[in-house]
Structure 1
Amino acid sequence: MIRKSSGSRGFTLVELLVVIAIIGILVGLLLPAVQAAREAARRMSCSNNFKQIGLAAHNYHSAYKQLPMHMGGTRRVPAQASWFSGYGDDCNMMMLSVFVGLTPFFEQQGLWDSISNPNSVDLNNPGTPRTPPWPAMGPTPTEEENDVVIVNTRNNAYPPWMTEIPTLRCPSDPGQGLPAMGRSNYAACLGDALHYTDNGPYWFNLRGWPKIEVHTSSNESVLASCRGTFVPRRSMKFRDILDGLSNTIMMGEIATDLGDRDIRTMPHTFAPGTFSGLRDNPVGCRPDIDPERPRFWDPSLTDIAAGNQGRGFRWASGCQPYTAMNTILPPNSETCMSLGDTTPGVLSASSRHQGGVHVLMADGAVVFLTDSIEAGDPNIGTVATYGTGQRAPGSQSPYGLWGSLGTRANREVITESLNQ
């Protein structure tokens, strides 16, 4: 009698390996599509954040008949200041970004209340009320030491400046936490020039206080060089945008630093020739890029920002590396400062999205512009002072469509569609 096997036949090793290989191939084919879908969702979320910021700016303008001030805030009056008074923590030295005033307009009323009133919370001494309390509108949003030895102000103990605001973050940007003091992926557009874009009509003495310059030449230089939607320490209105709100960039997207010497996010801090050198040659820092890895600075370069001064590292600070951008070099180009984070620099828009950046137009529209946008000749210098420099005040931007979009009242005609 023949006995039949009662057990079921299983897979052979070869069959199992074939199935695993097929599954691996399918996963390999599907993974890029899944990743692309995720990035598309993150990019849409980033665009929505920007739209909320644009709506907040328009609501702010409706309420106050002006845009929020870039580099605004409180300051010492000359009678209260001295040569060695330094940054201090009794005022914010008119160094606040446009986002501070916008907080109640993008659903951060609680944060605004803690900023606009005296605050006794000290992050360095939790549970112990600070005496005296932080002033209304907060201290200087800075963490570095002053160059005066007797002053060593580190205002990372002030809670609002250390707050991470979701509306100001792009989901595609993985940067988080220290050494940043609350990151921002969005920045105010200052135009297509450098001179006076750090201080506007005020002169800032590192050892003293911001004071207004009354001589004619400085005000004329501000008019000649500060050509963007925002002008430091000056109230701006939509009526100032003569080129049309739909033709003028109000803000641009920026990537935050990850500590990897990325040319877009870790600024070069000592341009050849410093102030005049960078104005005359916007690509003056380009020779310091690593030729083998063109997205990074040369490993031997020492003139880069301190670890806590990366791009987008302080949402509350109006200093250029943190919440400002210009339309001199095309998107995702290198960042270069004249001297340090309180000086003017060549700081374009940048992002973690593939191939381009979001920009917020003054009419509230969000547009994605590619890195290949027509940007003219980067070797042409920017306006220096009134009546001097390589191009006259009021002249057409030499930086092509990109530069034209960054200026508010230059009568450039935009003939190309921005919906790329």
Structure 2
Amino acid sequence: MIRFRRNAFTLIELLVVIAIIAILIGLLLPAVQKVREAASRMKCQNNMKQLALAVHNFESANQLLPAYSSLTGSNAGNFSIQARLLPFVEQENLRNLLTFDVSLTVGCCPGDVRPQFVVPAKTVLSLFRCPSDASQDTFTSRSGTSGGATGQDFVYAGTNYHVNIGTGVGTLYDARLPTDGIAWTNSRVRITDIIDGTSNTAAFGESLLGVQTQAPPAPTTDAERKRVMMNITCSWISPTIPPAVAGLNGGYVLPVDPAGYYSMSLASSLNRGWSGQRGAGWISGREYWTAYQHYLPPNSNIPDMQTCGNGVLGSRSNHTGGVNLALCDGSVRFVRDSITLTTWRAYGSRNGGEIITEE
């Protein structure tokens, strides 16, 4: 009797092998994703550490921390702290394209980018981007039509890293006047003014980029709420620059509880839609592009708010369970979403006298 050697799998054997491979891939993919996210989080922390150390080098050179934008006849802001730190993060050539004694834009809001600043405004810097946020690097923003602005589209390179302008409680969200953070408009803060201690005070936090459109629809999911802001009617334009009184002319004072702020804002006649421009331009000293507060807890599902560029601006990330925080001593730590709001706000103030006992 002649026996033939079998040189192939049966169909059942083949299906079993495919099933085993699928199971192995299913087990392997989460591990690969976890390793990839760990690497991204580490890269993000390194970026933020460079920014925190740049602040120290700036202070050494100027005997002051960098001020948040500057006002010379306009409430719309000027160049950002990020722009002023360029020489201290090995971007001297890009810094040489900027002239800080001339405003970034003309008119509002935002204004037309001056021709000499169009190229630097759209220059993407990996230092300003968290690798865990896969959003596009650039935004197209249409200028206003007042004060000389002509309603054109301008391209800006975005940023995930924002400077700490305080707790935001009460009227401290209005950084045109002094806040309890490390910077506000035309601030002159020194290291010695951080009396809570540099290891207990935030310098930079991270946030997710907006949704790449100026007027997105109302959010319907938590993911959307983290990337859009409520647009509040610009009712706080002041006849004096800076204004004599912080906050909206109508007396907009933030309650201690963020849920109260959200319900108040949604019900208010001031609410006029939504904005997707969070983090839209690292070069600009508009709060909702380059600043944040500690009013909302990390990764809050309560949307931010902006009016005339200022507002309530939180810290968020795609890192699992928390956000990176760069402190004024140059260190970076991962802060979990479970942190108490009291402790989180303590990191936001430079002079609150709080004792931080948990992270």
TM (norm. structure 2) is 0.78
Give the drift of 1:289.
Answer: 11
Structure with larger Rg: 1
Give the drift of 1:339.
Answer: 2.8
Q: How does 1:362-401 map to 2 (within 5 A)?
A: 362-375=328-341, 400-401=342-343
Give 1:411's aligned residue.
353
Provide Cα deviations, 1:191-248, integer angstroms capped at 9, x if missing partner.
11363654534xxxxxxxxxxxxxxxxxxxx3xxx11111221121101101111111
Give 2:86's aligned residue.
103
Give 1:140's aligned residue.
104
Provide Cα deviations, 1:275-304, integer angstroms capped at 9, x if missing partner.
3564243445634999xxxxxxxxxx9611
Report the secondary structure of 2:86's partner residue.
helix
Give 1:153's aligned residue.
112
Q: How does 1:36-75 map to 2 (within 5 A)?
A: 36-72=34-70, 75=72
Moved more, 171-180 or 363-372: 171-180
Give 1:303's aligned residue.
273
Structure number having the greater strand percentage:
2
Give 1:332's aligned residue.
299
Higher RCO, 1 vs 2 (CA within 8 Å, ≥6 residues apart): 2
Tell me the matched-pair count.
314
Rounded to whole Å, the distance in 2 between the matches of 1:320 and 1:374 is 25
Rounded to whole Å, the distance in 2 between the matches of 1:184 and 1:17 is 48
Preserved CA contact (<8 Å) 1:97 1:317: yes
Closer/same/farther in 2, CA of residues 59 and 141 from structure 1, 3 Å limit: same
Q: Which runs of 5+ in 1 are unaligned?
A: 77-85, 88-92, 117-135, 147-151, 202-221, 291-300, 376-399
Percent of aligned positions with the same letter in both sequences? 35
Report the secondary structure of 1:158's partner residue.
helix
Preserved CA contact (<8 Å) 2:204 2:327: yes
Give 2:192's aligned residue.
239
Give 1:9's aligned residue.
7
Give 2:147's aligned residue.
none
Give 2:19's aligned residue.
21
Give the drift of 1:408.
Answer: 0.7
Closer/same/farther in 2, CA of residues 104 and 71 from structure 1, 3 Å limit: same
Give the drift of 1:337.
Answer: 2.5
Report the secondary structure of 2:98's partner residue.
helix
Preserved CA contact (<8 Å) 1:141 1:314: no
1:253 equivalent among 200, 206, 210:
206
Residues 1:195 and 2:171 are matched in the alignment: yes
Give the drift of 1:140.
Answer: 2.7
CA RMSD of aligned residues (A): 3.0
Give 2:156's aligned residue.
181
Provide Cα deviations, 1:25-67, integer angstroms capped at 9, x if missing partner.
1101111111011001000000011111111111111111111
Rounded to whole Å, the distance in 2 between the matches of 1:355 and 1:53 is 23
Report the secondary structure of 2:58's partner residue.
helix
Report the secondary structure of 1:114's partner residue.
coil
Give the drift of 1:327.
Answer: 1.1
Preserved CA contact (<8 Å) 2:132 2:319: yes
Rounded to whole Å, the distance in 1 between the matches of 2:159 and 2:263 is 29
Rounded to whole Å, the distance in 1 between the matches of 2:261 and 2:325 is 25
Closer/same/farther in 2, CA of residues 236 and 145 from structure 1, 3 Å limit: closer
